Structure 1
Amino acid sequence: MKAICATDLSAASEATIESETCLECLERIGVEEIHLVTVIPSNVHAGMPGMHFEERREQALERYRRVVEDAGFDVETHVVRGTPHRRINGIAEAVGASLTVVGSRGKSPLENRVIGSTARNLARTTVVPLLVNRIEREADEPDVVREHLFQRVLYATDFSENAERAFEAFSYLRHATQEATLVHVETPTDPGLPEDDDPEARLTELATRLEDWGIETRTEVRRGDPADEILAAEAEYEPTTTLVGSRGHSRLRRLLLGSVSEDIVARADGNVMLIPPNRSA
């Protein structure tokens, strides 16, 4: 299993790469090869101050390479130019990655937002599962907010095809997961299930599958705004990662695209893992 670790070489990105616990969690879910990627924006030209950006970034990535190699991974480095999220997605496809990891600072006191433009654009466009690793915001030497990436997982589902695809991520996450909370949010403005369907029964069926893997599981049906209720569940149960599909049921076909999943990525306290639809979907 291959993973992309995207970095802008900031202190926040460094926290993700140099966290031994995070690297240990990636190893547990089957990651063997890590591709370190940094993108020089296309509007930074060679004639500008800092014209040796490629060389400086290659040197920085070599330091990261040694850290990751010492943790037991095979490592490749990529210094490229272009639009960051497009180049990151392109490399993920080219190398056959199964996961992209990007670090993100914590909540902004001004905008109640946590993600920069690259992480936001990746959340909208990622072609492989995306893990947004939450980093401390107000710290000179920031650390990851929750070290054990997949120890406690909050899985949010509307029972759409993409939500089911997100649930299948437990097939490899289970090697690092001890506890799971399964949540469905009923909303009268955009119902996703037939009237005669029983969401509690469907959650119980999913819980049984996880419990067969030795994962302690709880289920909960909530009512209200999907993003608000999922975030309320996160505040209550304090998972290390919230797992969602990036598209779900909606009259506009974007209940979990932008209006919910992007909001969760923006406002969650902990890590968020987004599972995109199949490319053919």
Structure 2
Amino acid sequence: MKAVLATDLSAASEATIENETCLECLGRIGIDEMHLVTVVPSNVHGGMPGIDFEKRRRRSISNYERVIERAGFDVETHVVRGTPHRRIRGIAETIGATMTVVGSRGKSPLENRVIGSTARNLSRTTETPLLVNRVERGTDDPAVVRQHLFQRMLHATDFSENAERAFEAFSYLRHATREASLVHVETPKDPGLPKDDDPESRLADLAAQLEEWGIETRTAVRRGDPADEILAAEDEYDPTTILVGSRGHSRLRRLLLGSVSEDLVARANGNVLLVPPA
């Protein structure tokens, strides 16, 4: 399996790459080939202070390449120019990546806005499962907030086709997952399930699948705003990663689910794994 690891070569991204537990977790779920990507923004050009920016990035990325190779991965590096989220997405689609990994914080306030924008735009447009790897904020030496990326999963589902596709990610996550919390949020804004369809029973069916794989599972039906309730469940259950479908197929549904996933990317304490429609 292949993964794209996107980096702006900031301290935060360095923390993500150099954390051996993070790399071990990716290896545990079957990733064996890593494509390390850094994008030189298209507005950096001759005559600007960053004229040699591309050369510096090529030198810097070689250090990251060695770290990943030592962890046992085949590595290919890509230093490209353009709009970050578009180039990252394009490379992921071209190589047939199973997952794209991006840090959620840059080193400086300006870089924080840039990497934040990249993560948000990827969450809206990615065709590949996107892991937003949370790193500590407000520190000069950031570290990965959740070292064991997939050990305790929180899966939020509305039982839609896209949510079912997100649940299917457990087929490979199960090799690193020990605990799972399955949550459905009922909301007045959503017509919800048919009257004869019981969300607790549907959650129980999903839990049974996970327990067959030896994953200890709890279920909960909550009521309220989806993003708020998912984040409240994160506070209660302390997962290492939230797993959620990123959007639906219709334009309206994409907007509604997209707003929830963007809220999770922006506000979650830990990592977020977004799975787009097929």
TM-score normalised by L of structure 1: 0.93
Deviation at 1:115, TM superposition (A): 6.7
Distance in 1 separating the partners of 2:122 and 2:76:
21
Distance in 2 separating the partners of 1:7 and 1:151:
24
1:184 matched to which residue of 2? 184
Deviation at 1:255, TM superposition (A): 6.4
Distance in 1 separating the partners of 2:11 and 2:69:
20
Please tell me whether residue 130 in structure 1 is matched to residue 116 in structure 2.
no
Query: Kindly tell me: are residues 18 and 251 of structure 1, through their superposed partners in 2, closer, same or farther at Cα, counting changes over 3 Å?
Result: closer
Please tell me whether residue 228 in structure 1 is matched to residue 234 in structure 2.
no
Query: Which amino acid in structure 1 is aligned with residue 234 of structure 2?
Result: E
2:109 matched to which residue of 1? none
Q: Higher helix share goes to which structure?
A: 2
Distance in 2 separating the partners of 1:208 and 1:217:
8
1:218 matched to which residue of 2? 218
- Contact 1:246–1:256, Cα closer than 8 Å, also in 2: no
Structure 1 residue matching 2:89: 3-state secondary structure: helix
2:145 matched to which residue of 1? 145
1:203 matched to which residue of 2? 203
Structure 1 residue matching 2:134: 3-state secondary structure: strand
Deviation at 1:258, TM superposition (A): 2.4
Deviation at 1:192, TM superposition (A): 2.9
Please tell me whether residue 272 in structure 1 is matched to residue 272 in structure 2.
yes
Distance in 1 separating the partners of 2:144 and 2:137:
10
- Contact 1:245–1:256, Cα closer than 8 Å, also in 2: no
- Show CA shifts across 1:168-207 (max 9, x none): 0000000000000000001122123112110000000000
Matches within 5 A, 1:30-45: 30-45=30-45
Query: Kindly tell me: are residues 158 and 251 of structure 1, through their superposed partners in 2, closer, same or farther at Cα, counting changes over 3 Å?
Result: farther
1:6 matched to which residue of 2? 6
2:79 matched to which residue of 1? 79
Distance in 2 separating the partners of 1:52 and 1:232:
46
1:27 matched to which residue of 2? 27
Structure 1 residue matching 2:252: 3-state secondary structure: coil
Comparing 63-72 and 38-47, the one that deviates more: 38-47
Please tell me whether residue 101 in structure 1 is matched to residue 101 in structure 2.
yes
Query: Which amino acid in structure 2 is aligned with residue 25 of structure 1?
Result: C
1:109 matched to which residue of 2? none
Distance in 2 separating the partners of 1:114 and 1:268:
18
2:167 matched to which residue of 1? 167
Distance in 2 separating the partners of 1:243 and 1:155:
5
Distance in 2 separating the partners of 1:102 and 1:48:
27
1:68 matched to which residue of 2? 68
Deviation at 1:74, TM superposition (A): 0.2
Query: Which amino acid in structure 1 is aligned with residue 15 of structure 2?
Result: A
Gap runs ≥5 in structure 2 = 107-112
- Contact 1:28–1:176, Cα closer than 8 Å, also in 2: yes
Aligned residues: CA RMSD: 1.8
- Contact 1:114–1:265, Cα closer than 8 Å, also in 2: no
Query: Kindly tell me: are residues 167 and 255 of structure 1, through their superposed partners in 2, closer, same or farther at Cα, counting changes over 3 Å?
Result: farther
- Show CA shifts across 1:225-260 (max 9, x none): 111000000000010000000124999313653221
2:53 matched to which residue of 1? 53
- Contact 2:186–2:224, Cα closer than 8 Å, also in 1: yes
- Contact 1:2–1:31, Cα closer than 8 Å, also in 2: yes
Deviation at 1:129, TM superposition (A): 0.1
Deviation at 1:138, TM superposition (A): 1.2
Structure 2 residue matching 1:259: 3-state secondary structure: helix
- Show CA shifts across 1:102-138 (max 9, x none): 01139xxxxxx99711111011111100000000011
Query: Which amino acid in structure 2 is aligned with residue 37 of structure 1?
Result: V
Distance in 1 separating the partners of 2:86 and 2:16:
21
Structure 1 residue matching 2:254: 3-state secondary structure: coil
Number of residue-to-residue matches in the alignment: 272
TM-score normalised by L of structure 2: 0.94
